Amino acid sequence: MHQIRRPHWTERFQKSPYFLGAFLFHLIMGGFLAVYIVLPAPKVREPDPIAIILPIFSPISEPPREEPFSGEKSEESGLPSVSPATIPIPHHLEMEKEIMRVDRVSAEPWVVVKGEISSNSIESISAEVQQKSSDLSKQGELKNNQDRKNFIQQWYQESERNSSQRVATFTIYVGKVSGLNSRGLILNENGVEGGPMANLVAATESWGRQTMKPKLSSKLIDLADESLMDKAPPFIFLSGSKDFTLTEKEVLNIREYLRVGGAIWADNGLAGIGSRFDIAFRREMKRVVGEVEFEVLPIEHPLFQGPKALLQITSIPEGMNYRHDPIEIVKVGGEIGIIYTPNNYTDMMRMVFQSPLKFKGNEPVIYSSHEAELRQKPTTPMGLWLGRESYFRNFEPESCEQVFRVGVNLIFHLLSRWQDRLG
């Protein structure tokens, strides 16, 4: 029987490329491993040890007394000559004991003198600085007072005397600033025809005990205009219900106006703390007067009660929708510079009464548009009146009257607040 011939391993090796590749790979890896094991690894130089040397503490002893200098002066510099000195380096530093030599002291263009300043000198310097600061402060306050006197005198230029007292004749302005909507104003081609402040002017003249004779400017006063200081209003009324931002010119003008004795009365036409106008007004006034906090005006303030109050007021009136947040102020120069009524008194003062301010059967007199045109008088807005039980709650004669009383007292106080201090 014929025997089957098996192929030689060399033949199988040649005919199997996978076997050939695996053989070569293991051969190469074996060679690398043999070289790594047989040949010695290179020596790595160890880093030099780092020694941390701590000083040797010894008991504190009294320093040696300095001997009086007995040397001679150097001919070159005129300073005392110093003999060579040796300064040994402590042995515990494990360094070579080298000697540092100071051959001489050379003349320098400056000399450092060591010494102590007595506590009396420090106190005297501090007192002198404080005195100069106080003097500058007094000079600044004297200038402010003089500027206020000059500014306030313009409020009474048109004043006259009746049989018993002086009657102040002055102009009230509604302010115009960037982005602020003046709520409730009645405008025509000639300017301001009516609105909350026009109604308050009428109430002031009726209830002012013949001490005030105000008139409302038909033109809005632009707080960015240079003429602001020339017009010299006792206060400027601002109202609105939206967010707004003062320009840099408005900020500077208002700041100067407050410095010389003026005042800003702002009313929130969107009643309530945290409303758009409330946030904007507080933010913008900080740009004017700095980080000064608003403070609550207490009911015991002379604006409301006492001999300096025109009308005696025992409680802060509620505003639109029965809002009853406190009235707030910012003082400038020790007196009210900014007064803020957050309860929307603007809309409350849009109610019009017959003169004198009385009610007819507990109802305000409301004219139709045609009748108002014939009478040439502003009217109570019909929308506010009809919506007083839903959208404009508290728009009632009794409530509005209390708001007018506060407004009359406020005008009187802002007009007279500097008299006692400035004479």
Query: Residue 212 is inside which H or E element, if any?
Result: strand 212-216
CA distances from 44 to 39, 221, 249, 344 (A): 15, 88, 75, 86
pLDDT at 162: 58
Cβ 236 vs Cβ 177: under 8 Å: no
| Residue spans of the chain under pLDDT 70 | 1-17, 19, 35-122, 125-140, 157-165, 354-378, 420-423
In angstroms, the Cα distances linking 18 to 11, 15, 21, 114, 226 are 14, 9, 5, 92, 98
CB–CB of 194/378 below 8 Å?
yes
C-beta of residue 334 within 8 angstroms of C-beta of residue 421: yes
Residue 139 has a pLDDT of: 60
Q: Going from the N-terminus, what domains does the chain have, and what CATH number goes with each?
A: 158-352+386-422 (3.40.50.12140)
Helices (H), 212-313: 228-231, 248-259, 276-289
The amino acid at residue 375 is R
DSSP string, 334-384: TEEEEEEETT-HHHHTT---BTTTB-BTTB-----HHHHHHHT-----HHH
The helices-and-strands tally (H runs, E runs) of the chain is 12, 13
pLDDT tens per residue, range 95-144:
444 444 444 444 444 444 445 555 566 677 666 666 666 555 556 677 88
Name the amino acid, one letter, at 138.
K
What pLDDT score does 262 carry?
A: 93
Q: So what's the pLDDT on residue 179?
A: 87
- Predicted TM-score (pTM) of the model is 0.64
Token pair of 70, please?
Answer: 């007995």
Q: Give tens-digit pLDDT for 243-278.
A: 999 999 999 999 999 999 999 999 999 898 899 999
- According to DSSP, the β-strands at 295-296 and 191-194 are unpaired
**The pairing of beta strand 236-240 with beta strand 166-176:** parallel
Residue 272: per-residue pLDDT: 87
Bridge partners (DSSP) listed for residue 73: 80
Torsion angle, alpha carbons of 284, 286, 290, 291, to 10: -160
